[in-house]
Amino acid sequence: MNMEIGFVGVGTMGFHMVRRLLEAGHSVVACDTRAEALARVTALGATAANSPREVADRTETVMASLPSLNAVLAVATGKDGVIEGKKVRRFVDLSTTGAQMAIKIAEALAKKNIVQIDSPVSGGPGGAERGTLAVMVSGPPAEIETVRPALSVFGKVFVIGERPGMGQTMKLANNFLSATAMVATSEAVVMGVKAGLDPALMIDVINVSSGRNTASMDKFPKSILPRSFDYGFTNGLMDKDVRLCLDEAKALGVPMRVGEVVGEAFGQAARQFGPDKDFTTIIKIIEARAGVEVRGKK
């Protein structure tokens, strides 16, 4: 069944999601603060809107893919936000906000009879482009089933639970593991290079051994060994996600000592290299301390 879907935030991730929705036969009303981003999706067949409120005036289902908690809160509940729309019935948040923000938005939207559906995704720009994202959904079962056909074009849908924020908790746990793999693999490979090992050979061995992980399989071959540092996820976003995970763990009374170290590492990377630089640059901090450089053979 084809749907009419509103979409706010058509950047790196959102562009591919909108493209896949259009290719699947859904119609999309899109909004973004950047004219060039909006132009890319209207060129594919999306219709432009001037504000989240206008999107919510024209569609029953509004999705959002945004980089920060404040952006999501403003789009959902602020002036000219989704909450002021005349037609909207459900807000599907594809962003990573953490459970507490998801609950806050859900409670605000409920006063206007708008249902919040948490739907954070994992898999990065490549997964968004290929339609292989993990889509972690929580919300009322009937509402999830209504949007499942649209969410399925993004990748595999996992229904995490019914309470607001449960999908967010799942996403934070996943991204914490991804961040940890990046830091730990960087330390391991830098140690090997310091001892005279070939880093490309190390990655080959790791990837058929018990140390295999997402950093060794994807990030190192694509972005670190060639020194391109262009995987497509920023230091600022990873720093945000790990901090959200630590906040949630603290609220639940769960100690995260490894998480604290990983959070400090990405905080330093964001400060030293900039929050907009690729998160694979974190290895440069470890390289500098060891006095070596991890580089694949040309």
The structure tokens 């935030």 sit at: 9
Domain boundaries 169-290, corresponding CATH code: 1.10.1040.10
pLDDT of residue 298: 63
Band the pLDDT of 293: cuts 50, 70, 90: very high
% pLDDT > 90, the chain: 96
The pLDDT score that the predictor gives to residue 297 is 78
Q: For the chain, what is the HEC assignment?
A: CCCEEEEECCCHHHHHHHHHHHHCCCEEEEECCCHHHHHHHHCCCCEECCCHHHHHHHCCEEEECCCCHHHHHHHHHCCCCHHHCCCCCEEEECCCCCHHHHHHHHHHHHCCCCEEEECCEECHHHHHHHCCEEEEEECCHHHHHHHHHHHCCCEEEEEEECCCCHHHHHHHHHHHHHHHHHHHHHHHHHHHHHCCCCHHHHHHHHCCCCCCCHHHHHHHHHHHCCCCCCCCCEHHHHHHHHHHHHHHHHHHCCCCHHHHHHHHHHHHHHHHHCCCCEHHHHHHHHHHHHCCCCCCCC
Q: How far is CA 256 from CA 98, 197, 252, in A?
A: 16, 32, 11
Residue 251 has pLDDT above 80, yes or no: yes
Q: Is the pLDDT of residue 184 over 70?
A: yes
The two three-digit tokens of residue 163, written as one number: 């309470």
Q: What is the average per-residue pLDDT within 194-218?
A: 97
Residues 104 and 99: their CA atoms lie apart, in Å, by 9
In the prediction, which pLDDT does 125 show? Answer: 87
pLDDT in tens, 107-160: 999 999 999 999 999 998 889 999 999 999 999 999 999 999 999 999 999 999
pLDDT at 76 over 80: yes
The string of pLDDT tens digits covering residues 31-70 is 999 999 999 999 999 999 999 999 999 999 999 999 899 9
Least Cα distance to 39 among 31, 76, 115, 282 occurs for 31
| pLDDT range class, residue 246, cuts 50, 70, 90 | very high
Domain ranges of the chain: 4-163, 169-290
Please report how many Cα atoms fall inside a 13 Å half-sphere around the Cα of residue 139, on the Cβ side.
Answer: 28
Mean of per-residue pLDDT scores for the chain = 96
> Looking at the predicted structure, is the pLDDT value of residue 239 above 80?
yes
CATH class of 4-163: alpha beta
- Predicted TM-score of the model (pTM): 0.92
